Amino acid sequence: MTVPSQILVLQGEDDQAALIAKRVREFGVSATVWPCDGGITPLPAGVCGIIVTGATTDARRDAVIDAVLKGPVPVLAVGAGFDLMNVALGGQQRHMGRLASGMTTVRTDDRSGLLDQVPAPLSVWMRRTSVVAGLAAALTAIAWDVDGHVVGAESQARQRFGVRFHPHLAASDSGRLILRRFVHDICGCRSDWRLPEQIPGLLADVREAVGSRPVIALLSGGLYSAVTVGLLQRALPEPQVVALHVDTGVMRQGESERVLALAQAMNLRRIEVRDAHRDVLAALGGLHRTVEKHACLAQQLQARAIHAAARAEGTDRPTLAFGQVSPAGDMAPVAAGHTCNRHLSAGDGGDAVITPLHGYFRDEVRQLG
């Protein structure tokens, strides 16, 4: 069986990495956002190239530099990742003393391996706080801004390429073409990744993770939770799947009724409803920041999920950990499909939660559904 081509996108900057991976998948190429804490070796099967962005922590910075210096496949550095690549290879950066952000014009060298066939000049989106003070000797400049600063460089011999602007953003001219050049022409990736073909693997993962135990699916009525329940229904015998809807009191008018109608339309036989609006509203009192409110809602959902799991397995001390594929222990796993689940793993030990759609983007989840 042929292993599909794959691009690793290092998780240096969460939002940028996710968007880059989404762009690569649009070419029909598998792309995985890769955690920076575990290193890049050994590479997963099928990896043909690595894309790096900036880094929000020292550990992530070290992982990006390690990829630039030791990665056995071509590397593309974008945005702040370009600065890290230049420094890693012996170059120097100079801080500007301010943040420069917005559209700018870039001229390019059409003899470049990366920018060949890319129309010039380019109007691109760029956000930076430093400029190249000295380009690494191993690199050759391939793009410059209006002030003459190097904003693109490459080493064709070492298969290292970088642009200081953001080709994955729609505002950047020819951004898709630049990414496609790297993915297809430089890395040699095949367009052999198709979303519908991922469904059998998702179903198999669910069966392996859950086994014969009951699974509690949090059903909010949103896209992710509805598709998660659909996957569970297809993967598991009907008696194993219990949908749990929590009325938080901060939903749209009539939304709980619509969720119950959705459950009926999906032929869900087992659904439990919890009215938690008093507790949730009390817990939200005094909170102003959106991230705090999301975390609070997640904690309230978690409390109800723990209670439901405890009832399902006859124990008062179940454990939950979002983001894991395989639950451990004998308690009922809770399938999470809602977007605030990243707040539910802190301080919980154990692996009693599965997130079948982890790593998929909203439009992909819609297609899967």
Over residues 273-301, the pLDDT tens digits come to 888 888 888 888 888 888 888 888 877 87
310 within 8 A of 316, measured Cβ to Cβ: yes
Average pLDDT over residues 135-164: 95
> Which pLDDT score, from 0 to 100, does residue 159 have?
96
The pLDDT value recorded for residue 121 is: 93
284 and 356 fall within a common domain: yes
How many domains, in total, are found in the chain?
A: 2
Query: Do 165 and 219 share a domain, yes or no?
Result: no
Element holding 228 (H helix, E strand): helix 223-235
Compute the distance between CA of residue 238 and CA of residue 220 in angstroms, rounded to an integer: 20
Average pLDDT (355-367) is 85
- Averaged pLDDT for residues 86-101: 91
Average pLDDT, integer, range 8-34: 88
Single residue among 122, 155, 186 that ends a domain in this structure: 186
DSSP state of 238: G
Q: First CA to last CA across the chain, in angstroms?
A: 27
- Residue 171 token pair: 């505002």
In terms of pLDDT, which residue wins out, 207 or 222? 207
CA atoms within 13 A on the CB side of 155: 19
191 part of a folded domain: no
Q: Are residues 156 and 282 in the same domain?
A: no
CB-based contacts of 104, cutoff 8 Å, min separation 6:
123, 124, 125, 126, 145, 146, 165
For residue 101, the domain's CATH number is 3.40.50.880
Return the beta strands (E) in 119-265 as ranges: 122-134, 140-144, 150-155, 160-163, 215-218, 241-247
- pLDDT band of 139, cuts 50, 70, 90: very high
Q: Identify the sign of the CA torsion 296, 297, 302, 307.
A: positive
What's the domain range around 307?
A: 196-368
Reply yes or no on whether the pLDDT at 206 is more than 60.
yes
Q: Report pLDDT digits (tens) over 325-342.
A: 323 334 455 565 654 444
Give pLDDT, residue 342: 42
Q: What is the pLDDT of residues 39-91, one digit of tens each?
A: 677 788 889 999 998 887 888 888 888 888 888 999 999 999 999 999 999 99
Residue 99's pLDDT is: 86
CATH number, domain of 362, equals 3.40.50.620
Q: Looking at the DSSP assignment, which residues form a beta bridge with residue 78?
A: 163
Predicted confidence at residue 14, as pLDDT, reads 65
Based on the domain organization, do 276 and 218 belong to the same domain? yes
Q: Give how far Cα 262 sits from Cα of 169, 247, 266, 274, 317, Å.
A: 36, 15, 6, 16, 31
Asked if the structure places residue 1 within a domain, the reply is no
Most confident stretch, 157-166, 192-201, 219-228, 248-257: 157-166
143 φ/ψ angles, rounded to the nearest 5 degrees: -155, 145
**Interval 122-134: pLDDT, tens:** 999 999 888 999 9
Checking if the pLDDT of 323 tops 60, the result is: no
Say whether pLDDT at 350 is over 80.
Answer: no
Q: Are strands 140-144 and 150-155 parallel, antiparallel or unpaired?
A: antiparallel
Give the confidence band of 108 by pLDDT, cuts at 50, 70, 90: very high
Query: 43 and 170 share a domain?
Result: yes
Residue 273 and residue 163 share a domain: no
How does residue 25 score in pLDDT terms, banded at 50, 70 and 90? very high
